[in-house]
Structures are given as C-alpha cells and as structure tokens.
A = this chain, B = another copy of it.
Amino acid sequence: MRKGLLFVISGPSGAGKGTICKGLTEKSNIDLSVSMTTRKPRPGEIDGKSYYFVGEETFLRKIEEDGFLEHACVFGHYYGTPKAAVMENMEKGRDVVLEIDIQGAMQVRRSYPKAIFIFILPPSMAELRKRITGRGSETEAAINQRLGEALKEVSYIDKYDYCVVNGELQEAVDRTIAIIKAEHSRVTEDVYALIEKYREEL
C-alpha cells in the first residue's frame, strides 16, 4: 500500500494558513496533526483534538526521547508535533498536514526531509496590514512590527517547495489540494514496484 505524505503548511501570521488548513480538512480526506502543549486548556478546547495537553515533565521526557518532529517554547509554554502519531497515520496511507510557523518548518526539514513544504503568502502587504488591523486592539507600532516580522519570515520562502498566494480563500484551498494530488503523482520508488509488476505480467 502507498504511504501517506507529510505536508508542512506555514507562512507569516495573518496570511491565513489556519483557514486554508480548515478548508483542506473539509474538502479533502486529509488529517491535520494535533500538537502537544504544556499550556492549560482554554474554555472549549478538547484534549486530543485542539491539543494534547500534558505536563512539563512528560513534554521534556518526550524531547529527550526524540519524540517530536519539531518543538518550541513560547512565553514559557512548550508546543510540539509528536512524531509517532504522524508516522502511524502515514503508514496507514493517510496524508498528514502540519500547520506550523517557519521555525518549526525548518526543524521538520531536518527531522523529516521528505516532507513537502508549502508557504502561504498574503496577496500584498497592504492586505496583510488590513487583516492584522481587522483583528482590532493592536497599536500602530505593534502592527508595523508584525509586518516587519512577516517580511523577515517571507525571506525563508526559498526553503519551501511551493507557495500559495491566499487572495481568494477557495482558490487557495483548491491550489493546495492540486499540490497534494500532484505530489502523489511524483515519480518515486513506488513507481519502480509498479514497473516490476508489469515485467512479471509479460
């Protein structure tokens, strides 16, 4: 049976990677990986669905055991992608999508280089500003800082295989689905098994 593939979707905050991933799970038969974290669940969050909520000791032991595809510590809380669950799904032939930031993606490039890396771009900086501003509450200075960071993040794009400009959401989701479909048609070792089958048939 053909193994599943691992797709890493990242991009600057505000580019809409979360919305695209949500669209993917709705329109295709793909699993979104569930992260593990040491932060406390917020109201409405479900353990094993929103996150796997664990204690710091458990998380640190998992790091020791090389149990993460990537992990990071943000504002004192750990976040990471547990390797085992992703690998099991792929063994079963299912594709897995990781929605992670650029630092996480760079870690996955080392821990699982066969992953396919997709960068989500905003259609323009003006549009990104509008999206960040639209969330309210942030000062002009904070918004400018976020835009500066976004620009820095975009410079990592050459480490990615594909980029999808998220102007119209449905178009961006369809494009991502096309990438997933195309990657399943790549000439890989699987093809050689097929040729061997042809040879035996003759």
A interface, CB within 8 angstroms of B: 118-119, 121, 124-126, 147-148, 151, 154-155, 157-158, 160-165, 174-175, 177-179, 181-183, 185-187, 191, 194-195, 197-199, 201-202
Please state if A162 and B179 are interface contacts (CB–CB under 8 Å): no
Please state if A121 and B202 are interface contacts (CB–CB under 8 Å): no
Complexed CA–CA distance, A177 and B178 (Å): 8
Please state if B148 and A198 are interface contacts (CB–CB under 8 Å): no
- Which B residues lie within 8 Å of A124 (CB)? 197-198, 201
Nearest Cβ on chain B to A148's Cβ, whole angstroms: 7
Please state if A195 and B125 are interface contacts (CB–CB under 8 Å): no
Name A186's closest neighbour in chain B (CB-CB).
Answer: B162
Nearest Cβ on chain B to A13's Cβ, whole angstroms: 15
Name A181's closest neighbour in chain B (CB-CB).
Answer: B178
Q: How many copies does the complex hold?
A: 2
Complexed CA–CA distance, A165 and B184 (Å): 11
Complexed CA–CA distance, A162 and B181 (Å): 11
Please state if B185 and A155 are interface contacts (CB–CB under 8 Å): no
- Which B residues lie within 8 Å of A125 (CB)? 198, 201-202
Please state if B185 and A183 are interface contacts (CB–CB under 8 Å): no
Whether A157 contacts B191 in the complex (CB less than 8 A), given A181-B175, A182-B181, A185-B179, comes out as yes
Nearest Cβ on chain B to A77's Cβ, whole angstroms: 30
Complexed CA–CA distance, A197 and B128 (Å): 13
- Which B residues lie within 8 Å of A191 (CB)? 157-158, 163
